[in-house]
């Protein structure tokens, strides 16, 4: 498991040598949506307006704009120059900057953003006690994973661990969401996979972590023999856009 070490956002530097992880507490930004939406471009505004429920629209506005502020700070640029596009694999990228990789995931009251110089993906989930996860196991788990999960001491928690790992890998690579999701390995340790499952990345690592109460996440990243058990995470303050 990956341990998160929280650091003060004011100490954030723009050193590109490490993965930058940011935690966003969405309720802290409630009521600020009208101001934040001014930082959306026309297509982002159109996307926000397509949400049926106001809560979902507000969450999109908050997460999108804060992501743009983080990318602006990371690239020493202005937010007006941050243009987020999506490639053919539906993977977001920063237009005009092929050296920056990023990803975002949100669940309930929290969101996590990650920025790196290599392929990276993140997924977080709130462990729902009422969710009937067993109904979908055969569609997302390999026979080996299914057997191990059903015989574990805490199958519900292990389900969320496996689910977030697979999602993080898919989001890091842009591959596997259709036909290969069930084959993407999630076991601890070294796994041998087909290059096509992970977008041809030679070395991909995935680490799980817990945060707050009842939340679990997974971080997938392209690595070159780099191994770590701790990662600094910055809590994003509401004053970030001031």
DSSP annotation of 189: S
Answer yes or no: is pLDDT of 195 > 90: no
**What's the DSSP call for residue 91?**
-
Supply the pLDDT for residue 183: 77
| Predicted pLDDT at 87 | 86
């040598």: which residue's tokens? 17
220 vs 17: CA distance, rounded Å? 16
Q: What is the pLDDT of residues 80-108, one digit of tens each?
A: 999 999 987 788 999 999 999 999 999 99
> Does residue 124 register a pLDDT over 70?
yes
- The answer to whether 120 and 174 have CB atoms below 8 angstroms apart is no
Give 227: exposed, middle or buried? Use CB within 10 Å, 0-12, 13-18, 19+. Answer: exposed
Tell me what percent of the residues of the chain surpass a pLDDT of 70: 90
Contacts 24+ apart (CB under 8 A), 90-94: 90/174, 90/177, 91/171, 91/174
H or E, element range at 74: helix 54-74
Give the C-alpha separation, 217 to 211, whole Å.
8
144 or 133, greater pLDDT? 133
| Burial tier of 192 (Cβ tally within 10 Å: 0-12, 13-18, 19+) | exposed
- What is the average pLDDT across 35-61? 97
Confidence of residue 14 (pLDDT cuts 50, 70, 90): confident
Distance CA(57)–CA(65), nearest Å, equals 12
| pLDDT at res. 201 | 72
* Tens digit of each residue's pLDDT (9 = 90 or more) over 165-176: 999 988 988 865
Confidence of residue 192 (pLDDT cuts 50, 70, 90): low
* The pLDDT of residue 194: 63
Task: Report d(CA 146, CA 140) in Å as an integer.
Answer: 9
Give the pLDDT confidence score for residue 198 in this predicted structure.
Answer: 65
Cα 237 from chain centroid? 19
More confident position, 46 or 118: 46
Using the predicted structure, report yes or no on whether residue 232 has a pLDDT greater than 70.
yes
Of the two residues 95 and 181, the one the predictor is more confident about is 95
């Amino acid at each position: 498991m990956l341990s998160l070490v929280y650091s003060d956002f004011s100490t954030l530097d723009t050193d590109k040598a490490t993965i930058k992880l940011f935690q966003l507490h969405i309720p802290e930004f409630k009521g600020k949506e009208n101001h934040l939406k001014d930082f959306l471009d026309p297509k982002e505004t159109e996307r926000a307006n397509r949400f049926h429920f106001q809560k979902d629209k507000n969450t999109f506005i908050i997460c999108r704009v804060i992501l743009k502020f983080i990318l602006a700070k990371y690239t020493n640029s202005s937010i007006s120059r941050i243009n987020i596009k999506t490639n053919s694999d539906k993977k977001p990228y920063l237009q005009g900057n092929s050296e920056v990789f990023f990803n975002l995931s949100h669940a309930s009251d929290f969101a996590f953003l990650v920025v790196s110089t290599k392929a990276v993906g993140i997924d977080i989930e709130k462990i729902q006690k009422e969710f009937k996860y067993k109904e979908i196991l055969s569609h997302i788990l390999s026979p080996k994973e299914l057997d191990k999960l059903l015989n574990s001491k805490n199958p519900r928690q292990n389900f969320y661990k496996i689910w977030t790992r697979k999602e993080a890998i898919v989001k890091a690579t842009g591959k596997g969401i259709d036909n290969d999701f069930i084959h993407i390995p999630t076991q601890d340790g070294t796994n041998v996979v087909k290059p096509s499952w992970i977008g041809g990345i030679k070395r991909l690592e995935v680490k799980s972590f817990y945060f707050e109460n009842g939340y679990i996440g997974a971080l997938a990243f392209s690595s070159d023999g780099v191994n770590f058990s701790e990662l600094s995470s910055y809590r994003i303050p509401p004053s970030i856009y001031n």
